[in-house]
Homo-oligomer: A and B are copies of this chain.
Amino acid sequence: MTILLSNDDVARLLTMPDCIAALEEAYVELAEGRGVNRIRSDCLVPVKDRPEALYGLKSMDGVIPKFGIGAVRIDSDVVTWPKRGNTMVREKVPAAGGRWVGLVLLFSCDNGEPLAIMPDGVMQHIRVGATSGLGAKYMARKDARTVGILGSGWQAETQLQAICSVRAITSIRCFSPTQANRETFAKRMTETLGIEVKPVDSPEAAVKGVDVVMCASNAIDNIYFERWLEPGIHLSSIKRPEIEIAALKKCDRVLTHSHEATPMHFTTKDLKVVEKTEGKGWKVAEEFDFAKMPTLPEMLAGRYQGRANDREITCFMNNLGMGYQFAAAGSVVYRKAKELGVGREFPTDWFTQDVHP
């Protein structure tokens, strides 16, 4: 049987600590050359009657022999780049009848069999958080207790879950530009985490004096600046442009998730739109030598030290997703779904064939 799962199923089956543990094991496999990742690619084309938007067909793959799992993640998105306040953001439009389209397909790498299909939304959130959590596990001070977070969206939620899974956090401050958003977020997260999350009215108020600063925005402009740095902090980011280059240069250690660049495939006409928008992130690369940064898998395989002392400033840039992460998180979800009998079952024959492909 091939199983179809929902986001609710994934939310029930994939805990943050389990996802962090699976990723940690999987990244060591990757660093040791026993797992493989095919980096994300984007096909971008114009959208009929929507000159401000692009359609993107995005895919990424990964295989982890140790877990017996291969995964393909696909997103089929209509994307826009509106201004929110002073900041340009990247927004996926729920264009498919008010809904988004993202899928994870899992296959057995022992016999090729299609194992499961599920939406990518919940898993996507958890794996981004879990990856930042792994960075913090090895880079934040062991005695880190306080967090300042910039952002109050879905990324911010799993960033907080992740840091609370790897450190005994006792207090959190949150800033995001819209007062109502940060207040709702703080209230909800206080309940979820059982730790006080306090909304504050400036980014400085969120980050001043904390042990861990987490950037979790959809901004493609800088939101954290050099002048805010303090000794001993751990910085984390989910998008390259979030942290000012001057701040990055002052860090004692900067680690990245992955070095592989995203192959972008455009129709001729779109190039200008993308240069004007996503291009911002690319220019940063010229001012800072990102190519020299060690990666998270390298650190987990013991080739790089995360933090040497309590005064170092460390930074983890969770820059680019990997299909490999969906194989790791997917293996947890699939194993638990089978154990608990969760999911809609289809005959596997519907997704296999007697015709040689």
Contacts and interface: CB of A to CB of B under 8 A. Distances in A.
Contact of A100 (B7, B95, B357): B357
A96 B356 contact: no
Given A43-B62, A59-B38, A102 B353 contact: yes
Interface in A110-155: 110-114, 117, 119-122, 124-125, 154
Nearest to A113: B96
A269 interface: yes
B101 A36 contact: no
Closest A-B pairs by Cβ, 8 of them? A121-B355, A33-B268, A102-B357, A99-B352, A119-B353, A76-B107, A96-B113, A57-B70
Interface in A334-357: 344, 348-357
Contact of A45 (B4, B63, B117, B354): B63
Contacts of A267: 33-36, 65
Contact of A92 (B35, B41, B65, B356): B356
A41 B44 contact: no
B7 A353 contact: yes
A290 interface: no
B36 A265 contact: yes
B95 A111 contact: yes
A67 to B, nearest CB: 11
Contact of A55 (B47, B63, B95, B125): B63
A155 to B, nearest CB: 9
A45 B41 contact: no
B44 A356 contact: no
A80 interface: no
Contact of A266 (B36, B102, B114, B355): B36
A103 interface: yes
Contacts of A349: 99
A99 B112 CA distance: 9
A227 interface: no
Given A34-B268, A45-B36, A45-B63, A97 B113 contact: yes
Contact of A353 (B63, B99, B265): B99
Contact of A114 (B33, B76, B263, B355): B76
A48 interface: yes
A94 to B, nearest CB: 8
Contacts of A19: none
A38 B48 contact: no
Given A63-B43, A99-B349, A112-B76, A269 B357 contact: no
Interface string A55-77: 10101011101001010101111
Contacts of A103: 105, 114, 351
